[in-house]
Amino acid sequence: MRTGKGLRRIQPGGGSDAGRRLAAAADLARHLRAALICGTLVAAALAVPPVAASDTCPVFVPCTDPRGCPDLVVDPAPLSQWSSSRQRFRSNDCSVVEGEVQAGWRLLARFTTTTPNLGPGDLFVGDPQSHPEWYDLETCHGHEHLKEYSDYRLWTPAGYERWRALRAADPSACARDLLRTHADLVSEMVAGRKQGFCVIDIIPSPVPCHAPADPPKYGFCSYQGISVCWADIYDEFLDGQWIDITYVPGGDYILEVEVNAERFFEELDYANNASAVPVTVDNPDLEICDGTDNDNNGGIDDTDLDEDGYLLCVNDCNDRNPNVFPGAIEVCNGIDDDCDTAVDESTADLDLDGVGDLCDNCPALANPGQADQDRDAQGDACDVDDGLLWFIETTSSLLGWQVDNVYETYNLYRGDLAVLRATGQYTQDPESTPGAAQMCVLLGSRVLNEFVPPPGGVAFYLVTGKAAGLESSLGISSAGAERENSWPCR
């Protein structure tokens, strides 16, 4: 058992639409934490490890196939057939509005992404309307976009070797965290990103699979998924199927595509999600800071590609981005905006949780793990409409938890830890278990706590929310099983 003071998280599931999110409680419930009161009234957590710095990409879409989990990979063959083309974008084009490319003439490296499922079970997504928290529902393109599908990266050879070494050293880390903690790698890479909009069975897996392909099940955007040994395809002509190489000097590079880079989908294996191929970029009109007039315009090393008034060869640390230049305002985006070699630097830390206020998703409430299950940029610790409840006050006389607008009332359960260990019951019969209690249909989020366990005894508390006649889940145990509510409030 790990003891300590501070936030105590209860995650029962839920969401912005009460009925729909409560029905999805089992999907969202992860790493339930409870408040325990010992003989000395010390707040503690059940044996749940803290979120590691290299593992802050929470699963959104759970594995639901009883045969096993999916295993997504990227077929490298179509990547080798990439092509480049110039295209002009207007400021109101959807690709510009949705942040996939800048307006104007752009040089694009286009490629097809094929993502087979080699796992023993299906990737099941279903109807986007059943899980709006997984999607951006209002987009310029007029259809739903999954919040994450695949990441595209164009590396220098040296940068890619460093990247491979980092991933080999910490295979459990998700890509986003490694890039944030090794921000200097950004200068060795140009990134792109595909937000999937219709994940379905297109062709049998073009790479060897462990068994013959299942009959295809998912063929419509209203019922999404990838069957065992089938693959989805995003063709190179689609919006977003590119990396913008307008400002990339000619030379040799590595094109890498990683599906499910942020672990949006629960999978059997995340270590095989990326494929990479060598490519050669031909971009002869780019000034490369070598003391000569490469672009034949009469000037030497005079390039200002992003037209921000700062020269690539003098002091602009990122001449591909007009918002990056010396003296720019630093914002939380994983890059060095003001060209001072520091990334997302912040001198203030109001809640003293070790995360600067600039990037703290709950700047007034300590949450060093920065957990954000619904990915709305508001941390779970202070998010009042994500269905997650945190104990925020555990003292000798008071129990208090976070108010969440999803719920109409709350139920608070007290149990005996010894009984839990002996029977596996998280909610216990108050008539037969001394110390067990139910406090039901609570309108507020605080109750007086006058109970003192006997010497050597330990009491624990669980809180759930209720809305539209449905009670939220007790969450998932550290063993990965859903906690059963044996004696629910009536």
pLDDT tens across 277-329, in order?
Answer: 999 998 766 666 778 777 777 888 787 777 888 887 788 887 768 888 998 98
Percent of the chain with pLDDT over 90: 36
pLDDT of residue 432: 93
pTM of the model: 0.56
Across 7-11, 72-76, 124-128, 145-149, least confident range: 7-11
C-alpha distances out from residue 141 to 91, 138, 180, 197, 425, Å: 14, 9, 30, 10, 49
- HEC string for the chain: CEECCCCEEECCCCCCCHHHHHHCHHHHCCCCCCEEEECCCCCEECCCCCCCCCCCCCCCECCCCCCCCCCECCCHHHHCCCEEEEEEECCCCHHHHCCCCCCEEEEEEECCEEEEECCCCCEEEECHHHCHHHEECCCCCCCCEECCCEEEEEECHHHHHHHHHHHHHCCCCCHHHHHHHCHHHHHHEEEEEECCCCCCCCEECCCCCCCCCCCCCCCECCEEEECCCEEEEECCCCCCCEEECCCCCCEEEEEEEEECCCCCECCCCCCCCEEEEEEEECCCCCCCCCCCCCCCCCCCCCCCCCCCCCCCCCCCCCCCCCCCCCCCCCCCCCCCCCCCCCCCCCCCCCCCCCCCCCCCCCCCCCCCCCCCCCCCCCCCCCCCCCCCEEEEEECCCEEEECCCCCCCEEEEEEEEHHHHHHHCCCCCCCCCCCCCEEEEEECCCEEECCCCCCCCCEEEEEEEEEECCEECCCCECCCCCECCCCCCCC
Across 49-58, 244-253, 269-278, 419-428, least confident range: 49-58
C-alpha distances out from residue 61 to 14, 29, 388, Å: 14, 11, 17
Radius of gyration over every alpha carbon of the chain, rounded to an integer in angstroms: 26
Task: Name the more confident of 89 and 124.
Answer: 124
Residue 194 banded pLDDT, cuts 50, 70, 90: low
pLDDT of residue 288: 64
Q: Domain coordinates of the chain in residue numbers?
A: 1-51+371-416+448-490, 76-281
What is the strand order of the sheet 230-234 is part of?
A: 113-116, 230-234, 203-204
Residues 153 and 191 sit within 8 Å (Cβ to Cβ): yes
User: Which residues make beta-bridge pairs with 110?
Assistant: 83, 242
Long-range contacts of 180-188 (CB under 8 A, 24+ apart): 180/334, 180/343, 181/53, 183/334, 183/335, 183/336, 183/343, 185/159, 186/334, 186/335, 186/336, 187/159, 187/317, 187/318, 188/155, 188/156, 188/158, 188/159, 188/160, 188/162, 188/163
Contacts of 88 (CB under 8 A, 6+ apart): 104, 105, 106
Residue 364 banded pLDDT, cuts 50, 70, 90: confident
> Pick from 153, 124, 350, 342: which is nearest to 244 by CA?
153
Percent of the chain with pLDDT over 70: 82
Report angle CA 231, 218, 228 to the nearest 5 degrees: 45
pLDDT of residue 375: 66
Q: Is the dihedral of CA 206, 211, 217, 222 positive or negative?
A: negative
Report angle CA 201, 263, 390 to the nearest 5 degrees: 130
What is the number of residues in the chain? 490
Contacts of 102 (CB under 8 A, 6+ apart): 89, 96, 244
pLDDT tens across 318-327, in order?
Answer: 776 888 899 8
Across 192-201, 282-291, 415-424, least confident range: 282-291
